Structure 1
Amino acid sequence: MAWKWIKTFVYLSMCVTSAVGNKQASQKKCADFNNTIWQQYRQGIKLRVQYFLLTRNNADCASLFTQDCLNQTQKHTAYFNSSLPTKVIVHGYRPLGSKPSGMSDLAKALLREEDLNVLVVDWEFVASFAYNLVVENYKEKHGSTLESFHFIGMSLGAHVSGFVGTLFEGKLGRITGLDPAGPMFKKAAPFDRLDSSDALFVEAIHTDSDQFGISIPVGHVDFFLNGGMDQPGCTHLDLASMFDYVTCDHMRALSVYTSALNRSCSLTGFPCSSFEEFLAGKCITCEDPFTGTCPQIGLLKSGITVTPLPNHEKVYLLTTATAPYCAHHILVELRVSPLDKSADIQLTLITVGHPETELKLKLNKDEMVYKKVTAHPAQLCKIDSVQVKNTGARFFRQGDIQFAYICISEIPQTRGLDPLCVKNINIGRGVPWSRDFVQVC
């Protein structure tokens, strides 16, 4: 991102805060992203940066902030309202000849959630050339309160948002990084990438930290979905295009955040030192550092009320493969009697009308208590039955397996639901065991 772009945004901020009051007719043509081809890029015949404004008064037809506004000739849109909060959406790297996906859906979801100004930044010319040049150049020479601005940056746009926050000395209200870009940023100093010092509250959603996203925490709170790497549903080859297949994990952050704004269900994270520790059932509360209130994606400041804010706090959660992506976190705990040799079991949670959840566990001779967190599409009180099978190899399979108990519970345990427990279970070779539950939510 060039210094010229940063200056443009600063001038834009000054202009739009004094723009309210001129109620001229809205533009006849809806503004849209540049869709530049290589020849046009070389000729430089299009705007290098554009700003689209969407409000509840023009949610289906974006207005364009022109360069005239930046030159203070007052040719501004009549829709901007400086008394309302402002969300600024910044897309990331995109190939020439393409438009950033998901930006319109995100803007509309924001407007459904709250009455505000949504500014969408189109910086195609500097975001569409070679990726390494974008990274090297994005900060070189080329009336509203700061607290009311919330930047939402996808991929490289997350770091652009962070640099804007640096220019404002960390006084922007909020920055949300949607899978902040990783290549060439993983070893960068905090000044050269998104960091918690860039705004009063910085959050990040990580979905592709082993490829296009960054693997380190960069905000006050960092949500690592499914460990922050491989996302459910992104391994299928029936996606719309090879580009969609390659970027599926990376773009999932945008899809999940947009879906979370609809509030159809909660996407709750649990603070933990690692994803492995979380799956092992060692991080099932949010007492430290959130005093019992687990952070959620999409809420104001992620629902975090603690003071001072945590820093670079990693939280983990599981999701489903499709919108709204919400999964119920189920803790499975079992105690097994001493074994002659190791054994393999498969535990299945069954809810009529929903996909089954299968959980495979390896039981060792020297362990007795096992815990595992898994994702289930229905809440605990709607689980109809649980089934357990002894699945070891035929000739090396453990004989009968004795369980002192098998308990399943939902985390976080905020609604007072007691765990579902079954005691004194014997599972023989090749004979599945199951138990039905009759509950009322």
Structure 2
Amino acid sequence: MSVNDAMEAARYNPVASNVYHLFTRENPSRSQPLVVNNVELLTQSNFRGNRRTIILIHGWMNSATSDFNTVLVPAFLAAEDVNVIVVDWSAGANALNYRTVIANTLSSGAAVASFIDWLNQAAGSTPVQYHIVGHGFGGHQAGIVGRNVQGDITYITGLDPALIGWVNNVNRFNPQDGRYTEVIHTNYGINGYLGDLAQVDFYPNGGISMPGCDSNACDHARSFFYFAESITTGGFTGRQCLNYYAAILNMCNLLPGRLQMGGLRPKIGQTGVYLLETNPAPPFSMG
């Protein structure tokens, strides 16, 4: 980073700027604010420490109201009685300079981890109850949160984690960031990361050009549409590949392994790369 980049990143203080929006089945459309160290606000909210908690982290130039959240919040609440917390780190995500956004991704991830640690202490919940989901730059941030939380997050999902600035970055999504980690690649080499990043990596339609899409932005967004459908209806059976090269070349007919993409429950113990095909419009799953 240049001096100017560092100065720009220093202006973002995630502890003060990040906003945490709680959604539950009691308040599915209007969020309740959660503020670190504010126990009274937490007590007055619908957060329940005995539920699973979903943490959603948006990507570059996005916010709490972006499609990523408007698609996934209702999907999770329809599928299960959970706490859904939308992290709005738009104060750090809306920088035009990608080096600044990367620095902000790291500092925001550390701040979100501290927020989760406080939440667990105040509400009596544990990291085992958490599923962290991030898109784009938020995909890498999901991993950063997982490795900074006190304890092991059970389930971390990266939805087309970003490519630019992350190829040689040691802070990128890592297979060991949670007890089970999974990545869905839908626009590799452009908006999304090319190689495998998690314990299990899925490459729908080869990972770059999605049926029914006519832009890279559409391809990039398909990751969270596919994931939302996997939560509510299941489906999306992947065929095991030798490696990610085989997946992007659509050459995955030799190995017998099959695995469901996404879903509510972590597939702890599973590893590998998987290929699957989708329909061009909902329902996207072909089974």
CA contact (8 A) 1:180 1:213 kept: yes
The alignment partner of 2:17 has SS state of coil
Greater relative contact order (Cα 8 A, min sep 6): structure 1 or 2?
A: 2
The structure 2 residue matched to 1:161, chosen from 126, 136, 142, is: 142
**What residue number does 1:144 align with?**
125
In the alignment, the residues of structure 1 paired with residue 151 and residue 167 of structure 2 have an alpha-carbon distance, to the nearest angstrom, of 21
Aligned: 1:120 with 2:79:
no
Percent identity over paired residues: 28
Q: CA deviation at 1:95?
A: 6.1
Q: Give the partner amino acid of 2:187.
A: D
Q: Give the partner amino acid of 2:224.
A: L
Please list, as runs of the form range in 1=range in 2, the aligned pairs for 1:236-315 lying within 5 A after superposition.
245-263=215-233, 266-273=235-242, 274-275=246-247, 278-279=250-251, 281-283=253-255, 285-286=256-257, 294-301=259-266, 304=267, 307=269, 309-310=270-271, 313-315=272-274
Q: CA deviation at 1:104?
A: 2.1
The alignment partner of 1:261 has SS state of helix
**What residue number does 2:182 align with?**
203
In the alignment, the residues of structure 2 paired with residue 271 and residue 299 of structure 1 have an alpha-carbon distance, to the nearest angstrom, of 21
In the alignment, the residues of structure 2 paired with residue 168 and residue 250 of structure 1 have an alpha-carbon distance, to the nearest angstrom, of 28
Q: CA deviation at 1:75?
A: 2.5
Q: 1:80 to 1:170 in 2, by over 3 A?
A: closer
Aligned: 1:84 with 2:51:
yes
Runs of 4+ in 1 over 6 A off after TM superposition: none
Deviation track 1:295-334 (CA, whole Å, cap 9, x = no partner) reads 3332412xx36x4x43xx2111111111121125xxxxxx
CA contact (8 A) 1:170 1:199 kept: no
Deviation track 1:20-55 (CA, whole Å, cap 9, x = no partner) reads xxxxxxxxxxxxxxxxxxxxxxxxxxx721111011
In the alignment, the residues of structure 2 paired with residue 280 and residue 74 of structure 1 have an alpha-carbon distance, to the nearest angstrom, of 54
In the alignment, the residues of structure 1 paired with residue 285 and residue 240 of structure 2 have an alpha-carbon distance, to the nearest angstrom, of 18
Gaps of 5+ in 1: 9-46, 236-244, 287-292, 329-441
The alignment partner of 1:62 has SS state of strand
CA contact (8 A) 2:206 2:249 kept: no
CA contact (8 A) 1:170 1:197 kept: no
Alignment RMSD: 2.5
Q: How many equivalent residue pairs?
A: 259
In the alignment, the residues of structure 1 paired with residue 46 and residue 168 of structure 2 have an alpha-carbon distance, to the nearest angstrom, of 42
Q: 1:281 to 1:121 in 2, by over 3 A?
A: same
In the alignment, the residues of structure 1 paired with residue 23 and residue 150 of structure 2 have an alpha-carbon distance, to the nearest angstrom, of 27
Q: 1:276 to 1:206 in 2, by over 3 A?
A: closer
Q: Give the partner amino acid of 1:104.
A: T
In the alignment, the residues of structure 2 paired with residue 157 and residue 216 of structure 1 have an alpha-carbon distance, to the nearest angstrom, of 17
The TM-score, its normalising length taken from structure 1, stands at 0.55
In the alignment, the residues of structure 1 paired with residue 137 and residue 156 of structure 2 have an alpha-carbon distance, to the nearest angstrom, of 13
Which region of structure 1 is more displaced relative to structure 2, 47-56 or 272-281? 272-281
Relative to its length, the structure with more helix (as a share) is 2
In the alignment, the residues of structure 2 paired with residue 112 and residue 73 of structure 1 have an alpha-carbon distance, to the nearest angstrom, of 28
CA contact (8 A) 1:92 1:153 kept: yes
Q: Give the partner amino acid of 1:249.
A: D
The TM-score, its normalising length taken from structure 2, stands at 0.82
Gaps of 5+ in 2: 1-8, 112-123
Q: CA deviation at 1:61?
A: 1.6
